[in-house]
Amino acid sequence: MNAIKNITLTGIIGLVLLAGLCGMQDLSAQTVWLDELDLSTATQGYGVPVKNKSLDGNTMTIAGQTFERGFATHAVSSLLVLTEGKANAFTAKVGLDDEMKGHEPAVEFEIYGDGNKLWSSGVMHLGDSAKECSVALTGIKKVELVVTDGGNGNYYDHADWVDAKFETTGVTTLKTYNPIASEPYILTPKPSDKPRLTGAKVFGVRPGSPFQFLVTATGDRPMEFSAQKLPKGLKLNPQTGIITGKLHEKRTYEVTLSAKNAKGKAERKLRIVCGDQIALTPPMGWNSWNCFAQEVSAEKVKSAADAMAKSGLINHGWTYINIDDFWNNHRDSEDASLRGELRDANGKIVPNKRFEDMKGLADYVHGLGLKIGLYSSPGPWSCGGCAGSFGFEELDAETYAEWGFDYLKYDWCSYGNVIDGLPDNDPYKVSSLSYNGGGELNTAMKPFKLMGDYLREQPRDIVFSVCQYGMSDVWKWGGSVGGNCWRTTNDITDTWVSVKNIALDQDKSAPYAKPGNWNDPDMLVVGHVGWGNTHPSKLKPDEQYLHISLWSLFAAPLLIGCDMEKLDDFTLNLLTNDEVIDVNQDPLGKQATCIQTIGDLRIYVKELEDGSRAVGFCNFGAEIVDAQYSDFEKLGIKGNVTVRDLWRQKDIAEIDTNTQKLAIKVPAHGVLLYKFNSGKY
């Protein structure tokens, strides 16, 4: 990147000589424009860094004033520049871009030098005229340009650094950088060719509901499955491993599953609990939203289900294939495939042209040994503007059951309008999501209780996923309205800021997680994601290991959000580690919390059913953590223990926690996921 423009070498020499003659050293100072640097190393909360245009590609405009040069970004944003003592000053103007008119973004621009805050804009709003900043940088080695979310979340925060430039000493180039490693590396060992049973160790079903459970195992095919003490009413297909049938008695059954192939045989226990509660371990599967968004179709859903089977993910316990928004008709889309009657003459919901045969689709997915999920809203419209269930809750619950669906995500969306008294069917007044906490607690609970009760009356088990972004402390009452899981957060994106902020916010809801009731910090953002326009996840490899480790420690629903036909080796390595998945699926159903914080290192502990503990040494900082750890008692770990590295599936140490220390080396934005076992593993 040539930082100096329009100045020839002889010109420079001339200037330096002249400066020397006049005794004016600073005549050699040069200007390096920010937009001349590589800005792609910046991290930001949404979109990608843009040069000399706004985030959406328009002329950069702050409070009516236009600018030709600059760096457009989105909160929360950070750009690191190595100045190495060669820059004397940085000047710029900052503000929110007018392209977000009609919304209420707020941000704060900040400049750090070697970790110290040098300047801050104060909170700025849309319409504030560009603020000038000028900071001295003499002697400073590292400059960080930051845009915070201004304290109101990062919605619509299109932020501009305009006319931004460094004054440097002499001819020099400045470099931007990102301290987080970007080379993917594989940790999960290849599965053995011998059979190894995987997936959930406990399964809940209601009396009288159709039973479907797939016995999953890794190892060479063909494989033969069998079960001892399978209760009457159930049968196991020895070739596919699918158990079907019906149970009528409320009871717990201990079954021994076996898998046999040419290389050997494996056994494992499965506890079948016939009772009121389902989803006894967090649901695992795939959802269409983070990848296809409004482009979803039955063909794409089928392909995702096929890929779930073909890629081998199915052998690790991944089960649900969930259709998100846009499977039915839209109020005013220009896309003909989304237009048509919303409901038929009897009020029955009508799928759009892309989903001609819902029952056929459900049968297809079931035939693979998988399950299928659907999406609706308690309001008149879904978040994307398709028909919601308001006023038709009972009929919709019946319809989903009749089609054979196993899972419903029920998304608050336009229900805010119902509360605000706007006409139920007003097509244009579907306000932005109502983040007012849902008003009264009763108001917040009401629509979910209504649908939860109707789902419960259906002749099949339907997992109920409550989606209202964590309003009104939903974790305290989500189970009482029939929810099996509930979102604790706004929508995730594939950015470090998003994953980090969500992760740091989970402890408060942790005590409420238990079998049948899970906190949901939103879907996974690994693989090719992109809401209709996919790209490889912007998370760095270590950030992805941290993301999967944390979601496993959190006992969160694990819903893959990527294009299942573009699974690469690194992503498969993240999603097929059975020892990591076992942490998530542990039958005790506890959610990890952060027990200790040491600088940027947060240590999460999850109690497991066998008395051992899964521990995540999670590094949220930009520097590697290299330490000797000894606070075992704080983590509830005593005596002689075996330490197992779950990602590498390897015992790495035997230590006496009273006298010995454990060496930990945690990559920046990375994780060590260990299991501490008393006694031999």
Nearer to ligand GLA, 87 or 467 (CB): 467
**Contact indicator for 645, 673 with CB cutoff of 8 Å:** yes
Task: State the nearest-atom distance from the C-beta of 604 to ligand GLA, in Å.
Answer: 24
Token readout for 575 is 């999603």
Closer residue to ligand GLA (CB): 219 or 384: 384
> What's the sign of the alpha-carbon dihedral 501, 522, 46, 125?
negative
- Only one of the segments 90-98, 182-190, 213-221, 376-384 lies at the binding site for ligand GLA (rule: CB under 6 A); that segment is 376-384
Q: What is the sign of the dihedral through the CA atoms of 385, 389, 391 and 392?
A: positive
Q: How far is the CB of 327 from ligand GLA (least distance, A)?
A: 11
Cβ-based nearer residue to ligand GLA, 213 or 469: 469
Which residue lies nearer to ligand GLA by CB, 35 or 411? 411
* Angle at the Cα of 272 from the Cα atoms of 270 and 276, rounded to 5 degrees: 150
Footprint of ligand GLA on residues 44-83 (CB under 6 A)? none
Instruction: Compute the residue count for the chain.
Output: 681
CB atoms within 10 A of CB 296: 24
What's the rounded Cα separation, in Å, for the pair 565 and 362?
Answer: 20
Q: Closest Cα to residue 535, out of 509, 562, 503?
A: 562
Q: Which of 406, 411, 520, 582 binds ligand GLA (CB under 6 A)?
A: 411
Q: Give Cα 403 distance to the centre of its chain.
A: 29
- 535-536 and 558-560 as β-strands: parallel, antiparallel, unpaired? unpaired
Q: Which is nearer to ligand GLA, 467 or 672 (CB)?
A: 467
Pick the binder of ligand GLA from 157, 324, 461, 563 (CB under 6 A).
324
The dihedrals phi and psi of 373, each to the nearest 5 degrees, come to: -125, 160
* 169-192 CB burial, b ≥16 within 10 A, e <16: eeeeebebebebbeebeebbeebe
Can you tell me the distance from the alpha carbon of 375 to that of 385, in angstroms, rounded to the nearest whole number? 13
Nearer of residues 384 and 483 to ligand GLA, judged by Cβ: 384
Cβ nearer to ligand GLA, comparing 176 with 290: 290
Burial bucket for residue 315 (CB in 10 Å: 0-12, 13-18, 19+): buried
Distance between CA atoms of residues 414 and 559, nearest Å: 24
Q: What is 209-259 written as a DSSP string?
A: SEEEEE--EESSSS-EEEEESPPTTEEE-TTT-EEEEE--S-EEEEEEEEE
Q: Which is nearer to ligand GLA, 140 or 383 (CB)?
A: 383
Nearest partner of 223 among 272, 266, 268, 271, judged by Cα: 266
Shortest gap between Cβ of 618 and ligand GLA (angstroms)?
24
Total Cβ atoms within 10 A of residue 649: 15
Check if 411 is active-site: yes
Binders in 272-291 for ligand GLA, by CB under 6 A: 289
Cβ 325 to ligand GLA, closest distance in Å? 4
Strands (E), 262-358: 264-274, 284-287, 320-322
Which positions from 153 through 192 interact with ligand GLA, judged by CB under 6 A?
none
Token pair of 422, please? 């706007």
Of 382 and 677, CB closest to ligand GLA = 382
Report in angstroms how near the CB of residue 469 gets to ligand GLA at its nearest: 6
Q: Which lies closer to ligand GLA via its Cβ, residue 105 or residue 557?
A: 557
Each residue 10-49 as x (binds ligand GLA by CB under 6 A) or -, in order, gives ----------------------------------------
CA separation for the pair 42, 495 (Å, rounded): 11
Tokens of 289: 């939203």
In the complex, least distance from residue 156 CB atom to ligand GLA, rounded to whole angstroms:
15
Rounded to a whole number of angstroms, the minimum distance from the CB of residue 436 to ligand GLA is: 16
**Closest separation in Å from C-beta 460 to ligand GLA:** 23
Return the SS3 of 141. coil
**Nearest approach, Cβ of residue 449 and ligand GLA (Å):** 20
**Does 383 engage in binding with ligand GLA (CB under 6 A)?**
yes
**Of 237-256, which residues contact ligand GLA (CB under 6 A)?**
none
Confirm whether 453 is a catalytic residue.
no
Site string for ligand GLA, 97-116 (x = CB under 6 A): --------------------
Listed ranges 24-32, 192-200, 380-388, 637-645: which one lies at the site for ligand GLA (CB under 6 A)? 380-388
Read off the tokens for 399: 């319809």
Alpha-carbon gap, residue 229 to 245, rounded angstroms: 15
Specify the residue for token string 């690191």.
Answer: 80
Closest CB to ligand GLA among residues 98, 324:
324
Q: Tell whether the torsion through CA atoms of 359, 364, 370 and 372 is positive or negative.
A: negative
Least separation in angstroms between CB 531 and ligand GLA = 9
- Size of interface with ligand GLA, in residues (CB under 6 A): 9
The residue among 324 and 461 lying less far from ligand GLA, judged by its C-beta, is 324
Q: Looking at 61-69, 303-311, 378-386, 650-658, which segment touches ligand GLA (CB under 6 A)?
A: 378-386
**CA 633/CA 636 separation, integer angstroms:** 5
| Of the candidate residues 325, 563, 578, 579, the single one contacting ligand GLA (CB under 6 A) | 325
Nearest by Cα to 33 from 107, 92, 83: 92
Task: Work out which of 394, 473, 491, 600 binds ligand GLA, going by CB under 6 A.
Answer: 491
Least gap, CB of 420 to ligand GLA (angstroms): 19
Residue 118 zone, left/alpha/beta (φ > 0; ψ -120 to 50; rest): alpha
Closest approach of ligand GLA to the CB of residue 491, in Å: 5
Which among 324, 411, 542, 578 is annotated as catalytic?
411
Which residue in the list 128, 473, 491, 651 is annotated as catalytic?
A: 491
The answer, yes or no, to whether the previous bond of 81 is cis (omega within 30 of 0) is no
Q: Which of these ranges, 42-50, 270-278, 382-390, 618-626, lies near ligand GLA under the rule CB under 6 A?
A: 382-390
Tokens of 153: 């979340």
**Which single residue brings its beta carbon nearest to ligand GLA?**
383
Q: Which stretch binds ligand GLA (CB under 6 A): 14-22, 167-175, 381-389, 657-665?
A: 381-389
The footprint of ligand GLA on residues 286-315 (CB under 6 A) is 289
Half-sphere exposure of 284 (CA within 13 A, CB side): 29
Per-residue x/- mask for ligand GLA, residues 427 to 466, rule CB under 6 A?
----------------------------------------
DSSP H or E segment with residue 664: strand 662-666
Q: Which of 73, 288, 315, 382 binds ligand GLA (CB under 6 A)?
A: 382
Structure-token pair, residue 319: 């089960």
Write out the catalytic residue numbers: 411, 491
Interface positions with ligand GLA (CB under 6 A): 289, 324-325, 382-384, 411, 467, 491
